[in-house]
Amino acid sequence: MQIGEFEIKARDGAARSGALATAHGVFETPAFMPVGTQGTVKGVTPEQLREVGAQIILANTYHLHLRPGAELVRELGGLHKFMAWDGPILSDSGGYQVFSLAALRKVSDEEVVFQSHIDGASVSLSPERAIAIQEDLGVDIMMVLDECLKFGVDEARAAQSWQRSLNWAKRCKAARSKAQALLFGIVQGAFFEGLRLRSCDELIEVGFDGYAIGGLSVGEPAELRERMTAVCTGRLPADKVRYLMGVGTPADIVQAVCAGVDMFDCVIPTRSARFGRLYSGTAHINIRNQEFRRDEQPVDAECDCYTCRNFSRAYLAHLVHAKEVLAVTLASIHNLHYYQRLMAEIRCAIAAGRMEEMREKFAA
Amino acid sequence: MQIGEFEIKARDGAARSGALATAHGVFETPAFMPVGTQGTVKGVTPEQLREVGAQIILANTYHLHLRPGAELVRELGGLHKFMAWDGPILSDSGGYQVFSLAALRKVSDEEVVFQSHIDGASVSLSPERAIAIQEDLGVDIMMVLDECLKFGVDEARAAQSWQRSLNWAKRCKAARSKAQALLFGIVQGAFFEGLRLRSCDELIEVGFDGYAIGGLSVGEPAELRERMTAVCTGRLPADKVRYLMGVGTPADIVQAVCAGVDMFDCVIPTRSARFGRLYSGTAHINIRNQEFRRDEQPVDAECDCYTCRNFSRAYLAHLVHAKEVLAVTLASIHNLHYYQRLMAEIRCAIAAGRMEEMREKFAA
């Protein structure tokens, strides 16, 4: 396959399974990308990440730009070499973090200026700078810079922001200097169907290697997110990959795949692991609960991850109570493996025409 | 080899290299045991522990008895299964921690009663209880309960304590119910040569599977520790394994091997890793230092551990500054591997008659 080629191998209703080729190899879709915020997926080595079945990971431009700095990463041979991950990497543009983490933001049509959450330094991010940073990191898939809105803004504010994000997307495309790094546009438009549809049309007109759906998972009801997702997937081109940013729970993912989404990222598996929430079946257990202190079963009897093959719930509970760092590692391995196994099951279900069955199982 | 058999394969002066057989397999000597205080060697999986070359690990009776409890570990199938380590495990008797960590100790000839450092509960430990706990854990090598003294006690106090420890050692041997778990005596006598020699003689008279040298590494000058070690190794039987408890730095270990010691344990490699001190050559670097932030070299160019094969000093420095848990894992893998490689080099040096050369290199 050529870099950027997206091959759809099977369909089941709106759901599709296939593969996308990048400069660091092909990954299967629907795909879940573990989040490597600061150049590491928290708690696991790249070797363990491979073992849990991850094929592509996400890196946060905002965090890496502030520390250790994208130029340093470039000087050291790029992010793949820096973090010893030789598979595909997608980077966000930094926009989401600028609008959620940084203080004292000043947004203009030209750029956004913000204070670093680490040392208070003033940092500016423009579409051109966002691309330069992502090219310095040397990732396989770059995202355009976009403005991210809180849930509840009115249509006038959403329309203004939408226009700004569209202009930024065009400037990102113009700023791109390397063909081997794919560039995805991001559909915005808050929760206004008309804006969402126009956003799709305008981005398609500009032309991107793939299309992300942004601005969701910001506190809205699930039903509204699902409707907005379907509005977008219904309009985006069938032959391009679709990425629903920041989603979600296993049930959210299954539902979105049914709506035609191909890629996902979320901190849930690793963050939940750090809080002792471990997936089991279609639900999760909280390993801190007293009941698990004497439980000799693995976290999930169906799971064949390193953690479940070797350790009991009682041992994991012990590590958590004893505040041992291995608790984070073993829990993260399990949850990441759970998500990757979920994606493999989804791909099989699409090939077998059983996605509706799978959706019902997770909706239950 | 039969359980308990100690085979000496090569000698170089007082140094010996060989192997000791346990119920969970044979390990080579001189051996370094990583410390698994709470049923885990901090920061690494058992798989990573194998990869760094560890052949035997140490478990802390005191910690495991307080949490999760030795009876629970027994019910769950023993410590090997609990922590998924199928190689040999040696447990200390808990004495050292009782005398260093616990509050409100009350020591009598019968037992020691102390307050748990976790929840303040009153706990008693007798020689019989120490053996019962270690048998519950199901370890391969048990240690007798002994009284541990601070540096600087006078000879009268040392003699009284020595007598108590000897009686406890006899009671431990009598309390032992399973032949497959080896039992080591512990030489005491503070820094009084006469007491040390009498301790050796009395313990040999009782008869143990191996002999440990206790009560050192408590703040004394290195020269004094070395002299006391040599006094003991000179008196202990040549055909039994010798274990210098709680030692030490690479230089300390090389020196003690030259004096005839076969086994070591120490928290230095894992504790140093957590503080960013990483071994390189015969010294160490502090990865927190500014100079490493742009350093593309591995921690140690000679090292073939997972960390050095895959990551730069700059990446490790980044992880430390970003407070990522992977920093602990990668640093621990490196330091543990460094120690295991040191032991392998020592065994080769003994076979080649080059221990004096190695001692000089590390003394420099």
Answer yes or no: do B326 and A40 touch at CB < 8 A.
yes
Q: In chain B, what percentage of residues exceed pLDDT 90? A: 92
Angle at B12 between CA B9 and CA B13, to 5 degrees: 130
Average pLDDT over residues A241-264: 97
Average pLDDT over residues B155-176: 97
pLDDT of res. A99: 83
Instruction: Kindly state whether A117 is in contact with chain B, defined as any CB-CB distance less than 8 angstroms.
Output: no
Residues in chain B with CB shorter than 8 Å from the CB of A39 are: 315, 318-319, 322
Q: Are A148 and A96 in contact (CB under 8 A)?
A: yes
Q: Any bridge partners for residue B11, and if so which?
A: B16
pLDDT digits (tens, 9 = 90+) for B60-101: 999 999 999 999 999 999 999 999 999 999 999 888 888 887
pLDDT of res. B318: 98
Q: Mutating which of A45, A83, A137, A291 best tests the B interface, going by the most B Cβ atoms within 10 A?
A: A45
Residues in chain A with CB shorter than 8 Å from the CB of B306 are: 45, 47
Q: How far is B337 from chain A (nearest CA, A)?
A: 16
Answer yes or no: do A306 and B45 touch at CB < 8 A.
yes
Instruction: Kindly state whether A156 is in contact with chain B, defined as any CB-CB distance less than 8 angstroms.
Output: no
Q: In chain A, what percentage of residues exceed pLDDT 90? A: 92
pLDDT band at residue B216, thresholds of 50, 70 and 90?
A: very high
Q: Mutating which of A35, A37, A40, A82 best tests the B interface, going by the most B Cβ atoms within 10 A?
A: A40
Please tell me the least confidently modeled range out of B184-188, B192-196, B280-284.
Answer: B280-284
pLDDT of res. A64: 96
Among B269, B277, B276, residue whose Cα is nearest residue B318: B276
Average pLDDT over residues A210-236: 96
pLDDT band at residue A95, thresholds of 50, 70 and 90?
A: confident
Task: Look at residue B321 and tell me whether its pLDDT is greater than 90.
Answer: yes
> Percentage helix, strand, coil, to 5, in chain B?
45, 20, 35
Answer yes or no: do A77 and B296 touch at CB < 8 A.
yes
Position A89, amino acid: I
b/e map of A132-164 (b: 16 or more CB within 10 Å)?
Answer: bbbbbbbbbbbbbbbbbbeeebeeeebbebbbb
Answer yes or no: do A67 and B39 touch at CB < 8 A.
no
- Phi and psi based region of residue B78 (left: phi greater than 0; alpha: psi -120 to 50; beta: remaining): left
Answer yes or no: do A324 and B72 touch at CB < 8 A.
no
Residue B71: closest C-alpha in chain A: A294
Q: Are B103 and B115 in contact (CB under 8 A)?
A: yes
Q: Given 3.90.420.10, 3.20.20.105, 3.10.180.10, 1.20.1050.10, which CATH number is that of A6-266?
A: 3.20.20.105
Residue A46: closest C-alpha in chain B: B310
Cβ neighbours, 10 Å, residue B250: 21
pTM, 2 dp: 0.97
pLDDT digits (tens, 9 = 90+) for A167-183: 999 999 999 999 899 99
pLDDT band at residue B144, thresholds of 50, 70 and 90?
A: very high
Average pLDDT, chain A: 96
Task: Look at residue A101 and tell me whether its pLDDT is greater than 90.
Answer: no
Catalytic residues of B: 92, 265
Residues in chain B with CB shorter than 8 Å from the CB of A38 are: 318-319, 322, 324
Average pLDDT over residues B208-222: 95
Task: Look at residue A66 and tell me whether its pLDDT is greater than 80.
Answer: yes
Residue A12 annotated to the active site: no
Average pLDDT over residues B212-231: 95
Task: Look at residue B103 and tell me whether its pLDDT is greater than 90.
Answer: no
Task: Return d(Cα B313, Cα B300) in angstroms, integer.
Answer: 9
Instruction: Kindly state whether B59 is in contact with chain A, defined as any CB-CB distance less than 8 angstroms.
Output: no
pLDDT of res. B151: 93
Q: Mutating which of A49, A309, A312, A329 best tests the B interface, going by the most B Cβ atoms within 10 A?
A: A329
Length of chain A: 364
Q: Are A144 and A215 in contact (CB under 8 A)?
A: no
Q: Which of A12, A136, A209, A265 is catalytic?
A: A265
pLDDT of res. A244: 98
Domain ranges of chain A: 6-266
Residue A265 annotated to the active site: yes
pLDDT band at residue A96, thresholds of 50, 70 and 90?
A: confident
pLDDT of res. B66: 94
Cβ neighbours, 10 Å, residue A25: 15
Residues in chain A with CB shorter than 8 Å from the CB of B293 are: 68, 72
Answer yes or no: do A68 and B314 touch at CB < 8 A.
yes
pLDDT band at residue B328, thresholds of 50, 70 and 90?
A: very high
Q: Any bridge partners for residue B277, and if so which?
A: B286
Average pLDDT, chain B: 96
Q: How is A303-345 classified by DSSP, letter by letter?
A: --SHHHHH--HHHHHHHHHTT-HHHHHHHHHHHHHHHHHHHHH
Encoded tokens for B282: 């015969």
Q: In chain B, what percentage of residues exceed pLDDT 70? A: 100
Task: Return d(Cα B333, Cα A283) in angstroms, integer.
Answer: 34
Answer yes or no: do A42 and B296 touch at CB < 8 A.
no
Average pLDDT over residues B121-147: 96
Task: Look at residue A104 and tell me whether its pLDDT is greater than 80.
Answer: no
Cα dihedral across residues A34, A39, A43, A48: positive or negative: positive
Task: Return d(Cα A170, Cα A63) in angstroms, integer.
Answer: 24
Among B203, B233, B208, residue whose Cα is nearest residue B141: B208
Answer yes or no: do B326 and A293 touch at CB < 8 A.
no
In CATH terms, the superfamily for domain B6-265 is Queuine tRNA-ribosyltransferase-like (3.20.20.105)
Which residues, numbered 24 to 53 in chain A, qualify as contacts with chain B under a Cβ-Cβ cut-off of 8 Å? 38-40, 42-47
A45, A47, A68 member nearest B318 (Cβ): A68
Cβ neighbours, 10 Å, residue B38: 22
